[in-house]
Amino acid sequence: MKRPGVGLAVILMKNHEVLVGKRKGSHGAGKLSFPGGHLESNETFYDCVVRELYEETGLDYQNYNMVSEHPCALTNDILNKDNKHYVTLFMGAKYRYGDIENKEPKKCEGWEWMDWDELVYETKGKVFLPIKNLIKQGYDPFNGLNK
């Protein structure tokens, strides 16, 4: 029996915007996604955030503040078309400063800031399944957070 993988997505926030990139060359290609990836064996959630943000955007821990060292949300993502199943953990972080690079151009077309409401209301068909499932839950990363 194949077991689900564990994905971790970082909701990097600035004002009322989140950082998204268009996926390439993998399941969910062409869809908007947050930075993130697989949780590695013996890796803490925080360490995974630090590693993935650096690998994908060039930002290091000085460029953002973690909202919590615990996931703020999770989704159960069954990608039948790709024969994949993930539990995705979402971690929140507030952007402080720094240049954002596309360090993995074979996996992402580029990073952009998108207003949260635009992501929720205008691009439901253009988002990767974990974000679609997060939106279905009614999750709002700005609810209760100091901007």
> E strand or H helix at 12, and its extent?
strand 5-14
Hey, what amino acid is at 128? F
Confidence at residue 1, expressed as pLDDT on a 0 to 100 scale: 52
Confidence at residue 136, expressed as pLDDT on a 0 to 100 scale: 92
| Residue 81 pLDDT class (50, 70, 90 cuts) | confident
Which domains can be identified in the chain, with CATH numbers?
A: 5-136 (3.90.79.10)
Tokens coding 107 = 């996996």
| Residue 144 pLDDT class (50, 70, 90 cuts) | low
- Report the distance separating Cα 23 and Cα 37, nearest Å: 12
Tens of pLDDT, residue by residue over 32-56, are: 999 999 999 999 999 999 999 999 9
Mean pLDDT score, 23-27: 90
Picking from 54, 141, 67, the residue whose alpha carbon sits closest to that of residue 99 is: 54
Write down the mean pLDDT value for the chain: 93
> E strand or H helix at 78, and its extent?
strand 73-79
